[in-house]
Amino acid sequence: MRLIEKQITFGLIVGTRGFFNPKLAQEGRRQLVKKLQSLGYASVILPEKATPNGAIESLDDARKCAALFAEKRADIDGVVVVLPNFGDELGVVQALDMAGLNVPVLVQACDDDIDKVDVASRRDAFCGKLSVCNNLYQYGIPFTDTAEHTCPIESDLFSRDLHFFGRVCRTVRGLKSARIGAIGARPAAFQTVRFSEKLLQTAGVTVIPVDLSEILAAARALDEQAEDVRRKLAEIKAYGTIPASIPEEHVLRQARLSLAVDAWMAENECDASAIQCWTSVQENLGCAACLSMSMMGERYLPSACEVDVVGAVSMYALLLASGNAPGFLDWNNNYGEDREKCVNTHCSNYPKSFMGRDVEISALDILGESLGRENCFGAVKGHVAPGPMTFFRISTDDPRGIVKSYLGEGEFTDDPFDMDGGIAVCRIADLRGLLRHICKNGFEHHVAMVRSRCADVLEEAVGTYLGWELYRHGRAGRSAPPPGHT
| pLDDT tens by residue, 60-89 | 999 999 999 999 999 999 999 999 999 999
Whose CA is closest to 258, among 280, 237, 236? Answer: 236
Q: How far apart are CA 93 and CA 109, in angstroms?
A: 15
Q: What is the average pLDDT across 221-239?
A: 97
Residues 257 and 364 in one domain: yes
Angle at which helix 22-39 crosses helix 156-176, to 10 degrees, equals 70
Count of domains for the chain: 2
% residues pLDDT > 70 (the chain) = 97
Residues 231 and 127 in one domain: no
Cα four-point dihedral sign 199, 409, 329, 323: positive
Residue 274 has pLDDT above 80, yes or no: yes
* 310 located within any domain: yes
Amino acid found at 466: L
Omega within 30 of 0 (cis) for the link into 279: yes
Q: Select from 176, 207, 237 the last residue of a domain.
A: 176
* 486 located within any domain: no
What pLDDT is recorded for position 479?
44
Q: How far apart are CA 20 and CA 339, in angstroms?
A: 59
Q: What is the DSSP string of 338-363?
A: EEEEEEEEESS---HHHHTS--EEEE
Report strand pairing: 144-145 vs 105-109.
parallel
Residue 166 has pLDDT above 50, yes or no: yes
Q: How far apart are CA 426 and CA 384, in angstroms?
A: 10
| pLDDT tens by residue, 96-153 | 999 999 999 999 999 998 887 787 778 999 999 999 999 999 999 999 999 999 999 9
Residue 403 has pLDDT above 70, yes or no: yes
Residues 149 and 171 in one domain: yes
* 167 located within any domain: yes
Q: Select from 176, 204, 237 the last residue of a domain.
A: 176
CATH number reported for the structural domain that contains residue 149 in this entry = 3.40.50.10940
Q: How far apart are CA 388 and CA 148, in angstroms?
A: 25
DSSP label of 104 = -
Contacts of residue 154, defined as CB under 8 A and 6 or more positions apart, other chains included, come to 31, 35
Residues 40 and 82 in one domain: yes
The band of 486, judged by pLDDT with boundaries at 50, 70 and 90, is very low
273 Rama class: left (phi>0) / alpha (psi -120 to 50) / beta? beta
Residues 65 and 146 in one domain: yes
Residues 94 and 144 in one domain: yes
Instruction: Give the Cα-Cα-Cα angle 264, 318, 136 (nearest 5 degrees).
Output: 115
% residues pLDDT > 90 (the chain) = 93
Q: How far apart are CA 416 and CA 420, in angstroms?
A: 12
What pLDDT is recorded for position 475?
78
CA dihedral 130, 134, 135, 141 (to 10 degrees): 110
* 58 located within any domain: yes
Cα distances from 88 to residues 15, 131, 154, 205, 306, in angstroms, run 6, 9, 22, 37, 53
What pLDDT is recorded for position 21?
87
* 466 located within any domain: yes
Q: How far apart are CA 232 and CA 226, in angstroms?
A: 10
Whose CA is closest to 428, among 334, 315, 352? Answer: 334
Q: What is the average pLDDT across 401-421?
A: 97
Q: What is the average pLDDT across 154-181?
A: 98
Residue 476 has pLDDT above 70, yes or no: no
DSSP label of 2 = -
Angle at which helix 248-267 crosses helix 290-298, to 10 degrees, equals 50
* 484 located within any domain: no
What pLDDT is recorded for position 143?
98
Q: What is the DSSP string of 402-465?
A: EEEEEEEEEEE-------SSEEEEEE-TTHHHHHHHHHHTT--SEEEEESS--HHHHHIIIIII
Q: What is the average pLDDT across 289-304?
A: 98
Residue 472 has pLDDT above 50, yes or no: yes
Whose CA is closest to 55, among 93, 13, 103? Answer: 13
Helix or strand run (H / E) with residue 284 = helix 280-284
Q: How far apart are CA 377 and CA 365, in angstroms?
A: 10
What pLDDT is recorded for position 255?
98
Average pLDDT, the chain: 95
234 near 266, Cβ under 8 Å? no
The band of 1, judged by pLDDT with boundaries at 50, 70 and 90, is low
Which 3 state secondary structure label does DSSP give 82?
A: strand
DSSP label of 122 = -
Residues 158 and 190 in one domain: no
Residues 311 and 403 in one domain: yes
Whose CA is closest to 351, among 296, 314, 287? Answer: 296
* 63 located within any domain: yes
Residues 162 and 198 in one domain: no
| pLDDT tens by residue, 40-53 | 999 999 999 999 99
Residue 2 has pLDDT above 90, yes or no: no
Write out the E strands in 29-68: 42-44
Q: What is the average pLDDT across 401-414?
A: 98
* 485 located within any domain: no
Which 3 state secondary structure label does DSSP give 4?
A: helix
Amino acid found at 141: I
Helix or strand run (H / E) with residue 381 = strand 377-383
Residue 167 has pLDDT above 60, yes or no: yes
CA dihedral 383, 389, 390, 394 (to 10 degrees): 10
Q: How far apart are CA 479 and CA 464, in angstroms?
A: 8
Strand partners, 208: 181
Residues 165 and 267 in one domain: no
DSSP label of 467 = -
Residue 17 has pLDDT above 80, yes or no: yes
Q: What is the average pLDDT across 451-476?
A: 94
Residues 356 and 433 in one domain: yes
Range of the domain at 114: 3-176
Q: How far apart are CA 399 and CA 280, in angstroms?
A: 32
Q: How far apart are CA 218 and CA 210, in angstroms?
A: 12
Q: How far apart are CA 468 and CA 460, in angstroms?
A: 11
Residues 246 and 361 in one domain: yes
Q: Select from 121, 147, 176 the last residue of a domain.
A: 176
* Helix, strand, coil percent values for the chain (each to nearest 5): 40, 20, 35
Tell me phi and psi for residue 60, to 5 degrees: -65, -40
What pLDDT is recorded for position 188?
92
